[in-house]
Structure 1
Amino acid sequence: MQLTTKFLRPTSDPRAVKRERLSALLEPDSPRRLNLVIAPAGFGKTTLVAQWCSRSSSPTAWLSLDEHDDEPRRFWQYVTGAFEHAGLTGAAELRKQLAHSNDEAFTEAITGLINTLARDGSPWVLVLDDFHFIHDPAIHRQFAYFVDYLSPGVTVTLASRTEPPLPLARWRVRRWIQDIHPGLLAFSEDECRQFFQDTMGLEISEEDVRAICRKTEGWVAAMQLSALSGKGSSGGTKQIDLDERHISDYVLSEVLDQQPAELADFLLETACCPRLCASLCDSIRSSDDSQEILEKLLSQNLFLIPLDTRNEWFRYHDLFRDALLLRIRHRQPEKAERLWQGTVDWLLGHGHVQEGIAQIVHHEDWHWLARVLAEHGNNLIHGGYHLPVLNWLDALPRNLVTDNPQLQMLRIWGLFFANRVDSLAPLLTSLEDLLDRHVADSHPDAEGALGLQSEISLMRSYLARTRSDDKSATDLTRQVLKEIDHTRIPLKSVTYYGLGLDYYGKGELAEAEDALQSAVRYGQVEQKPSTVLSSGGLLAWIQYNRGDIDLALDTCTDIRQWVDRHYADPSQPRLISCWQNSTLCEIHRERDHPELAATHLQPLLEHVERGTEAGQHVVIQYVRGHLAFSEGKLQEAIEALEDAAQTARKRRDQILFEPPASTALLARCYLASGYPDKARACLDARVDVEYTNPLNLEQNRISEARVLVALGQPERAQEILSALLQPAERNAHNRHLVEILLVYGEALALQDRKEESQQMLTRAITRATEAGFMRLLAEESPYLRSLLLSLPALNAPGSWNSSVRAMLLKQEDRAGTTTVATEVSPERSPQTPETLPEPLSQRELEVLALIHQGHANKEIASRMSVAPATVKAHIRNLYGKLGVGRRTEALARARELGLLDN
């Protein structure tokens, strides 16, 4: 049972200052999704938001959070409960679903809430008050997903004492956030007057109002100090000129100079800390009483802002901290420097490396930065922070880098992870020359520098893979493995990942799995989350394609949990792996959960839009095309797969591994669209020597057999499948084995060999049942689906059988009628206007005419006064109705139909 009072909006105090200018900022405004009201206690956050809600006409769901809500299931139950209390249709069912959901289904439930809001279409407002009580990283990640995919018109308002660890920087770039921070919450002169007279009940002159407003910069906490100290009621308050960049001298002197010596010393000694905790303060002060002092400062509201709800981490208000720093640096410069150095040492020693480096860069202590990067840079790069490392290296004076082999190697790794592999070869040569000189000159670090030779060999092995020089890549990798135990550099995880890529490229799946499991194990020991994710993701991809779907899902879950447990930082973009997300998308697609599959695909699409490594681009577009194919969105699938195939051809030298065979799946899309000749041309354009991975070669050969079946040549298809059958079974290529058996069964049926066909299809059903494949069966030809539906093995009792039968029948309903083999023809017959399945809309006809005039998409959008995305949607629908894939085909088909003049 839920506490309904948590859903009640607080009643506005009639004495409270009306903040009309801030309420106006909170009003919904495209493309905004989030109002962020952040300020310490006592800044009037709740009052402001409640005032705004009371005048808003939008339906509002209000939730007052507390410390008990810091648990994912309870949090999301209360969020859906708030919507239910506010009258959102469907929210009650979602809340009940959450009560029985496991962790894996949370994303699906949140997706359900997003979809429910989208279907409702109302301009909903969700207010979460006291969001600072929420510090569970899982909730922050889930909430970020919720905001990312909200439909337009829905606005979330967070009121919090601290800034939540969400991807705020990314959202601000997209103009999704309206920030209401203490600077905006500062009272105007009129508001100051209302505060003292109405809220505080003090009689105060206009002169005093102006003086205090100037001295406190409208900061209500400082005004409270003035009022409580009796200064505000006196007409003798001094006039002080204020520097807008710092807190007023009045507040600083009244606070700092009037504190006991112990507190004043503490404030000055800890001002060098960007954040404060008791351990850090004790370390730099050589004391053990810092926690007690911090809590005392907090209780006195002395400009100390808590960063959590456990009173462990704090920060000073920036303006107050700046004033303290000016004071100690002016009066005790040597002590200030010593305290700052102690702070950075503590940050580096307690895992806050980036924060420590930021302090060093700010002070421009370049020699110290060089030493820190040499020690910590490798782990930062493998933790996903390669771009900051490259920026820090660029900030160093050139002479500190040119004669430092470690820093040069660090730059090479940073460029490698940034996918800038074209620039690596000359840098490696330069580094080798430097190492040779160090050895020849008996440089003091010659022995340590020699250890970098293994890193150079490892990097050259990856570059060899981009040239498809598998022998060199394997030889270099094995050389590194022999030398690795004699070096001081943790490289085993990256080396075994390279070895796994080599085995995978050769189709030696068992060996690849062993190497990748070693890469995961060593990556965890070496604290390299990027390598763990990539290795575990490729391992799961292999397990899935081999047929161990449950094992692949377990691998993904275990790896994700390890990374989130050790490297979760909700304020930074979530570290993801192309291999892992692609595998999860394929798993959920295969299990007929397309919405869940899309949630794992979506983060990858952002990488495609921004530009990513060529091999990853191909994998993502392949998976994207496969999901669209499964959902019957054939034109969308064709566009993604054509892009994947083209990228794989043009950028082959930049790809470290052989990506999936996009042309094989593209040919299936053409077959499903009724164009077997296009499918054959697509496969004929691909040469077998392009593939060294037997899995990819196998995939293409199976597609060739499908095309031959569609063209009425089952005997030739059978020849291909016979050659594939035993190797696939021997090498445990179980996914391909099921496909081979299915298409083989269809080829036999077309030769009127019914009994043999049934035996082959029964073998396929047995294998698919063992592996848990489902969508795979529904994606075959209509005739093959009809054969499966009549198969005794599939009509036996069992949950898997019933699920697959339902899926096959659903697929038949989508197609309209069950199609038999004789209905498949080499070419789709030309359509006439009378036989067009769905007529073109007026807007689609307008787009068609503008295409005919030769206009690009942007020009069409301008002429029609719509967004480019809307034009793309019209074109996609246009292509689908005409059954074409390109502009030239669309124009030709339109002329055939009489929609355009010849």
Structure 2
Amino acid sequence: MTRGHGVMPDLPATAGTARVPGRGRPDLIDRRDLIAALDRASEHRVTMISAPAGSGKTSLLRAWADRPGRDRRIAFLSVRPGQQDAQLFWLALLEAVRGATGATESLPAAPGFDGGAMVDKVLSEITASGGTFYLVIDDLHELGSAEASEQLAALLTALPRGVHAIVATRHDPPVHLHRLRLAGELAEIRAAQLRFSEAETRDLLAASGVALPHDVAGLLHQRAEGWAAGLRLAVLSLAGHPDPERFVAEFSGSHRTVAEYLMAEMLERQPPHVQRLLLRTSLPDRINGELADLLTGATGSERILLELEDANAFVVSLDPERTWFRYHHMFADLLRLELRRTLPEAIPELHRLAARWFAEHSQAVDAVRHLQAAGDWSEAARLLTDHTVSLTLDGQAGSVVALLRAFPACVGEDSPELALVYANADLHQHRLEEARAHLGIAGAYAETTPPDRRSRLRTAIASLDLLLARLRGHFDGVFEQADALPSPAEGRSNTEIALASDLRALALLNLGVAEAWSLRLDDSERHLLEGAALARDIGRPYLEVACRAHLGFASGSRSFALVRQRCEEAVALAARCGWDAAAVIAPAQVSLAGTLICTGEFDRGEQWLDRARHVTRSEGEPGVRLLVHLTSAMLCAARGQHAETLAELTAAEQVQAHMVSRHGLSTRVTAWTIATLARLGTVDRARADLAVLDDVQAAAGEIRTAAAVLHLAEKDPAGARRALRTVLDGTAPVSSFLTPIEARLLDALACRDLGDAQAAGAAVEQALNLAEPDRMILPFVMTGAWELLDALPRNTSHAALVSDILDTVRGDTPDRSAPPVPAEELSPSELRVLRYLPTNLTRPEIAAELSVSLNTVNTHIRRIYAKLGAGDRSSAVHRGRELRLLSNGRS
């Protein structure tokens, strides 16, 4: 089961060289003067066509864009009626731009949305296309998102040279274009300019095969005042009319009166089956043959719709295949008015039929709207509740809010039927206390519903409870909900399976993240892998990226290589989806930064850390924010910036203070805070912070190493060794692979201060043994123990690592961006031997490990040296790391 965006795009969004949706028709007259005016206007950066319904805006755009022999690229977007979601508008606009530039891939929707980043993406893709480019947006008045309108204003004012935008709207949009107007970059076409001239009226009559005397044609133009819709309706009514002169003589009045009169004339002259189709299909915003057959109770509706479009009877196709249609907005309004006048009793049932069809075709927003229009508030609430999580994942949170506002007060915010919908909206907007209250109401309501309904509600409530617990930092609450994890969906309808799968994938994500922040890394890895696989299977790339973004951190107990690999995979997947600058990928960015900082690649680590900082807002997920501050503190400590280190650690503590449960990294924050205070010379404050910890906290390995730093700052090396005893003998619990290395280095410093050089050297050698597999440089830099490396014997088996540590400290780091050697240059057997060279194993010991002869090992090593251009074991290891042939991971 797969899913695309899960929503209908802003149809039409087709684009190409001078081509827009809807076929060019011979009865559209060539309004040369008006098209020339639009050509002149489009020399400005932005052209706004603002005129009431029926003024001919869309027809003008179609005629302007459809001219043959024009070598230009046009991205054409018609905003879908009632568009409330900024993200869907921008995705449709980006798809139109990509269609015009020849790209075919589209981006998926997501719960979160960065409008500024999307504006930048649209601008960059337009700019990269080169040459003259036209961006045409029709029906802009349908855009109901203030957020999207502000972002569109930013786009229009930033269009590069050679790019021109044309926006058509019934009224001036809430898009602030005054800067463009003042700069002379805004051209405006108003209703007066769109009116037909008398000559154009005669051309329209002739193109439609209507013959009128010269004076009668002039009277028709005078009566219609050049109004495009009125003239088109008149031409439709005049075709074959028995007394055209009487018709024109009676043709008068306001636009509304004229339109109603002409529509009645046109409808009366249509065959009964066409009248029935026009009236009974006027309620939906868009129609296709299957839905029209359902609403009319007949067959062959698609053929009639195609014939009506060919006749230019206010019917427009919305896709190149001509399967979806809409009526001209004014025409649809008048048809609905006639339906209310002639068949009022049929309207509720037509809305119910449309709702059923849209629901069966996974278009829940339209289904709920029709149920609301039918007055079926309870059924509308049930359907919206069932789909609220999936709609949010589809990027339709704005539509959900708009649907909520449409419910009457008696079925509003205090209604238990909609409590789950309000809770989901609260979570999306990070209103956590309101979400908690609404989930409580939803839980009580669920217990009063029938068994089949109760199970579905409980599943949805459990999924949102997990999300709430994660956002509050209430990790114990997450584990309490783990037993309510939705089971795999089986034996249900396709719609129910899709909804249940969405909930399960979301629940697995939230459970896995909470387990990661609680350092239950094995459980976290298992649930995140399962969630990623499910999300991929059901076509939910956002949830897959979210799971994979946290997998790097969850892999920290296994190997650095795996952390790095999974972070890079997550970043690549996010980039393919257009989310490389979105908050969803921040966990992978910061985890990748942490691995680079730990291995001494401080500048590269800072680049990834800056990306994570950029997308991590103050109101974002607390677990990620804490990790960002802690990683920032690592970088500052590595550079000896102790004041900045303390500031980042203080920020991390402030994040923890607003979390319900204790983050697994909080012990490290506390320990590093004490150590940083000691290094800054504020030993009294460090001692006070250490004293307030309870026995369990004080026994942690990270706290013991901090106590050792404090003792060293107080010139008490013996006290430092005592503080480290439980870490060194392995009895103290540790939460970081850095801690055992750091403890041995601090022990080495204490031994040096005590005058025991031999013990200091042994402790350093032990630290190098632990650091070697991951090439861990950070502890040597942070503790200052790198100063002890010069005292090591020259024949140390860690010469390559020692060299890298000293290069890092002195700012002379080697270039690690060299491409890897092609795999065929080293055989698999040679690669296996190479990976033993960073260890302190002798050649006979390597032979024993590989179960081969010593001669075989010697032969492989000679070949390795030759292929890598190395003269000894240390340089071979160094070169192997530069070329990324050596694994950085622990086995």
Instruction: With the length of structure 2 as denominator, give the TM-score of the two structures.
Output: 0.57
Residue 445, structure 1, aligned to residue 450, structure 2: yes
Residue 511, structure 1, aligned to residue 511, structure 2: no
Q: Which of 30, 36, 59 is residue 17 of structure 1 equivalent to?
A: 36
Q: Are the structure 2 counterparts of residues 560 and 731 from structure 1 closer, same or farther at C-alpha, using a change threshold of 3 Å?
A: farther
- Residue 179 of structure 2 corresponds to which residue in structure 1? none
The 2-side partners of 1:304 and 1:463 are apart by 47
Q: Which of 315, 318, 327 is residue 338 of structure 2 equivalent to?
A: 327
Give matches, 1:849-888, under 5 Å: none
Give matches, 1:532-547, under 5 Å: 535-544=547-556, 546=558, 547=560
Residue 181, structure 1, aligned to residue 183, structure 2: no
- Residue 145 of structure 1 corresponds to which residue in structure 2? 117
Give the match's secondary structure for 1:138.
coil
The 1-side partners of 2:148 and 2:695 are apart by 42
The 2-side partners of 1:801 and 1:200 are apart by 86
- Residue 876 of structure 1 corresponds to which residue in structure 2? none
Query: What code does the residue aligned with 2:772 have?
Result: T
Give the match's secondary structure for 2:107.
helix
Query: What code does the residue aligned with 1:180 have?
Result: V
Give the match's secondary structure for 1:652.
coil
TM-fit CA distance, 1:312: 4.4
Q: Unmatched 5+ residue regions in structure 2?
A: 1-15, 19-30, 49-56, 77-95, 157-165, 172-187, 207-213, 816-891
The 1-side partners of 2:693 and 2:730 are apart by 19
Query: What code does the residue aligned with 1:809 have?
Result: G
* Greater relative CO, 1 or 2 (CA 8 Å, sep 6+): 2
The 1-side partners of 2:636 and 2:246 are apart by 73
Q: Are the structure 2 counterparts of residues 225 and 469 from structure 1 closer, same or farther at C-alpha, using a change threshold of 3 Å?
A: closer
TM-fit CA distance, 1:180: 1.4
CA deviation digits over 1:824-879, x for unaligned, max 9?
xxxxxxxxxxxxxxxxxxxxxxxxxxxxxxxxxxxxxxxxxxxxxxxxxxxxxxxx
Give the match's secondary structure for 1:159.
strand
The 1-side partners of 2:239 and 2:807 are apart by 76
The 1-side partners of 2:709 and 2:44 are apart by 60
The 1-side partners of 2:642 and 2:707 are apart by 19
Q: Are the structure 2 counterparts of residues 652 and 15 from structure 1 closer, same or farther at C-alpha, using a change threshold of 3 Å?
A: closer
Query: What code does the residue aligned with 2:364 have?
Result: V
Give the match's secondary structure for 1:17.
helix
Instruction: Please say if residues 428 and 456 of structure 1, whose CA atoms lie closer than 8 Å, have aligned partners that are also in contact.
Output: yes
Query: What code does the residue aligned with 2:553 have?
Result: W
Q: Are the structure 2 counterparts of residues 44 and 521 from structure 1 closer, same or farther at C-alpha, using a change threshold of 3 Å?
A: same
Instruction: Please say if residues 505 and 657 of structure 1, whose CA atoms lie closer than 8 Å, have aligned partners that are also in contact.
Output: yes
Instruction: Please say if residues 529 and 548 of structure 2, whose CA atoms lie closer than 8 Å, have aligned partners that are also in contact.
Output: yes
The 2-side partners of 1:247 and 1:743 are apart by 91
Q: Are the structure 2 counterparts of residues 493 and 224 from structure 1 closer, same or farther at C-alpha, using a change threshold of 3 Å?
A: same
- Residue 55 of structure 1 corresponds to which residue in structure 2? none
Instruction: Please say if residues 256 and 264 of structure 1, whose CA atoms lie closer than 8 Å, have aligned partners that are also in contact.
Output: yes
The 2-side partners of 1:691 and 1:145 are apart by 48
Residue 652, structure 1, aligned to residue 659, structure 2: yes
Give matches, 1:429-828, under 5 Å: 445=450, 449=454, 474=479, 477-478=482-483, 500=512, 503-504=515-516, 507-520=519-532, 535-544=547-556, 546=558, 547=560, 548-553=562-567, 556=570, 576=584, 579=587, 582-583=590-591, 593=604, 597=608, 601=612, 604-605=615-616, 607-608=617-618, 611-612=619-620, 614-615=622-623, 617-619=625-627, 642-649=650-657, 651-653=658-660, 663=669, 667=673, 676-677=680-681, 681=685, 685=689, 723-724=726-727, 733-734=736-737, 755-756=761-762, 759-760=765-766, 762-763=768-769, 765-769=771-775, 780=782, 784=786, 796=800, 809=811
The 2-side partners of 1:139 and 1:429 are apart by 32
The 2-side partners of 1:190 and 1:460 are apart by 57
Residue 136, structure 1, aligned to residue 105, structure 2: yes
Instruction: Please say if residues 186 and 217 of structure 1, whose CA atoms lie closer than 8 Å, have aligned partners that are also in contact.
Output: no
Query: What code does the residue aligned with 1:145 have?
Result: A
CA deviation digits over 1:721-771, x for unaligned, max 9?
6644676999895466666677777777787567436634643552224xx
Give the match's secondary structure for 1:809.
coil
- Residue 135 of structure 2 corresponds to which residue in structure 1? 159
CA deviation digits over 1:461-500, x for unaligned, max 9?
8888999997786566448799999999887656656664
Q: Are the structure 2 counterparts of residues 505 and 194 from structure 1 closer, same or farther at C-alpha, using a change threshold of 3 Å?
A: same
CA deviation digits over 1:669-723, x for unaligned, max 9?
978xx972369947964788599999x9666666666677788777666666664
Give the match's secondary structure for 2:227.
helix
Q: Which of 375, 381, 404 is residue 370 of structure 1 equivalent to?
A: 381
Instruction: Please say if residues 714 and 747 of structure 1, whose CA atoms lie closer than 8 Å, have aligned partners that are also in contact.
Output: yes
Q: Are the structure 2 counterparts of residues 733 and 618 from structure 1 closer, same or farther at C-alpha, using a change threshold of 3 Å?
A: closer
Query: What code does the residue aligned with 2:372 have?
Result: V
Give the match's secondary structure for 2:285.
coil
The 2-side partners of 1:223 and 1:25 are apart by 35
Instruction: Please say if residues 721 and 747 of structure 2, whose CA atoms lie closer than 8 Å, have aligned partners that are also in contact.
Output: yes
Instruction: Please say if residues 215 and 250 of structure 1, whose CA atoms lie closer than 8 Å, have aligned partners that are also in contact.
Output: no
Instruction: With the length of structure 1 as denominator, give the TM-score of the two structures.
Output: 0.57
Q: Are the structure 2 counterparts of residues 248 and 559 from structure 1 closer, same or farther at C-alpha, using a change threshold of 3 Å?
A: same
Q: Are the structure 2 counterparts of residues 737 and 522 from structure 1 closer, same or farther at C-alpha, using a change threshold of 3 Å?
A: farther
Structure exhibiting the larger radius of gyration computed from Cα positions: 2
Instruction: Please say if residues 551 and 567 of structure 2, whose CA atoms lie closer than 8 Å, have aligned partners that are also in contact.
Output: no
CA deviation digits over 1:70-129, x for unaligned, max 9?
xxxxxxxxxxxxxxxxxxxxxxxxxxxxxxxxxxxxxxxxxxxxxxxxxxxxxxxxx969
Give the match's secondary structure for 1:180.
strand
TM-fit CA distance, 1:345: 0.9
Q: Are the structure 2 counterparts of residues 151 and 794 from structure 1 closer, same or farther at C-alpha, using a change threshold of 3 Å?
A: farther
Q: Are the structure 2 counterparts of residues 500 and 254 from structure 1 closer, same or farther at C-alpha, using a change threshold of 3 Å?
A: same
The 2-side partners of 1:555 and 1:146 are apart by 23
Between the aligned residues of both structures, percent identity stands at 15
Residue 273, structure 1, aligned to residue 284, structure 2: yes
Instruction: Please say if residues 379 and 528 of structure 1, whose CA atoms lie closer than 8 Å, have aligned partners that are also in contact.
Output: no
- Residue 77 of structure 1 corresponds to which residue in structure 2? none
Cα RMSD of the aligned pairs, angstroms, is: 6.8
Give the match's secondary structure for 2:135.
strand
Give the match's secondary structure for 1:324.
helix
- Residue 64 of structure 1 corresponds to which residue in structure 2? 73
Q: Are the structure 2 counterparts of residues 726 and 64 from structure 1 closer, same or farther at C-alpha, using a change threshold of 3 Å?
A: farther
Q: Are the structure 2 counterparts of residues 145 and 413 from structure 1 closer, same or farther at C-alpha, using a change threshold of 3 Å?
A: closer
Query: What code does the residue aligned with 1:18 have?
Result: A
The 1-side partners of 2:789 and 2:72 are apart by 55
